[in-house]
Amino acid sequence: MRHSNTCLEHTPREGRSVQAFAPGRVNLIGEHTDYNDGLCLPFAVERGITVTAEPAPGAAIEAHAKDLGERDSFELGAESAQAESGSPEGWRLFVRGASAELRQAGIEPRACRLTISGDVPLGAGLSSSAAVCVALCLALCEIAQASPPDKVPLARLCSRVENDWTGAQTGLLDPLASLCGERGRAVRIDMRGPELRPVPLRLRGHLLAVLDSGASHDLSADSGYNERREECRAACRALGIDSLRDATSAAGLPEPLDRRVRHVLSENERVDATVAALEHGDLDEVGALLDASHSSLRDDYEVSVPAVERAVETCREAGALGARIMGGGFGGSVLALFPPEAQLPPGAVRVEPGPAARLL
Ligand code: GLA
């Protein structure tokens, strides 16, 4: 892998409070390909989640989700126990899961008080959940005076927290993007490996912006997201392959599996076409590829909803060269590319590639 794999400089700080920051991400293109061993092109954004950890006496972790005004506490080693509010859910599962999965990976979390806050909107498709998980892991490792796992194993650990603790069968796209971000660059990820290659995001004055559709997306256990994953597994079984990366055509598959596979195959091609268009400075082509990705996600993969269609339309009416649904789908944000002279529509937020997760 050409990207540095080592996570962070580690200088243990005994007895002091520590802070870790993990960015959210934008995925330029390559949607619903990560769990099919495919290609994607994300970048970390400036906004993210900050976790402050302060060593505490005893054998418990106390956590405070500042923006939500909610608290949780649990004994180390008893992460699955009931929360005061009943069965742990939502953000509490990330804290408990991170603690348990780190222990499983050989890093023994220590008693501490955690404060979680952030400026990445929740449920808007900018991957607040992976950012929470990455920031928690970095803070918990630092408090435990342990080096965090390298980037790929840490991304896998975060993915296990989402998969096994929250029930969302998400892939490696979000934690890898948060851990491997670089200012001014996106990263082409080939999930087979994974292999990561930085791609300079030379936009020649054009702007990338996200517009929240207002429909909160849900990737939890019984979501459409998990249903799509199951459809991909069913297509693999029908084709006699382990991964859709090995599929060459959707021919002969029953409907809707044929369309699901067609999306994955065409989206992988669009990722490399986008990398090439960026290299050639052809921003019109990047816009056209975003539009093509959106059509494929709407018609073949069927992850759009009316609020998202309206947000895409709003961006196009404001002069976007291309716009598409981003992230897991069924709501969340739209990503659009605007020419240099365009006025962003109300509510749209400019996004630029920022640095990776780190200790502050
Ligand atoms: C969500 C998941 C990712 C990825 C995208 C779709 O963001 O967390 O793993 O599958 O959806 O590309």
Mean pLDDT over 128-144 rounds to: 97
Is the minimum distance from the CB of 229 to ligand 1 under 6 angstroms?
no
| Mean pLDDT across the chain | 93
Q: Just list the catalytic residues.
A: 174
CA dist 87 and 354 (Å) reads 36
Is the minimum distance from the CB of 170 to ligand 1 under 6 angstroms?
yes
Contacts of 69 (CB under 8 A, 6+ apart): none
Is the minimum distance from the CB of 162 to ligand 1 under 6 angstroms?
no
Question: Which position has the token pair 């087979």?
Answer: 192
DSSP state of 193: T
Can you tell me which atom of ligand 1 is nearest the CA of 225? 11
Q: Is the model more confident about 127 or about 217? A: 127
Tell me: pLDDT of 1 over 50: no
Q: Smallest Cα–Cα separation from 56: which of 113, 12, 13, 16? A: 113
Q: How far is the CA of 267 from the centre of ligand 1 (A)?
A: 14
pTM, whole model, 2 decimals?
0.94
What's the full length of the chain, in residues? Answer: 360
Mutate to test the pocket of ligand 1, among 166, 170, 300 (most ligand atoms within 8 A of CB): 170
Percent pLDDT > 70 in the chain is 93
Can you tell me which atom of ligand 1 is nearest the CA of 34? 10
CA dist 158 and 139 (Å) reads 13
Tell me: pLDDT of 192 over 70: yes
Contacts of 324 (CB under 8 A, 6+ apart): 29, 31, 290, 291, 293, 294, 297, 312, 334, 335, 336
* pLDDT at 120 (0 to 100): 86
Percent pLDDT > 90 in the chain is 86
User: Coil, strand, or helix at residue 18?
Assistant: strand
Tell me: pLDDT of 9 over 80: no
Q: Looking at the chain, which runs of residues are DSSP E strands?
A: 18-27, 39-40, 42-55, 60-65, 70-75, 112-118, 185-190, 195-200, 207-212, 322-325, 333-338, 349-350, 358-359
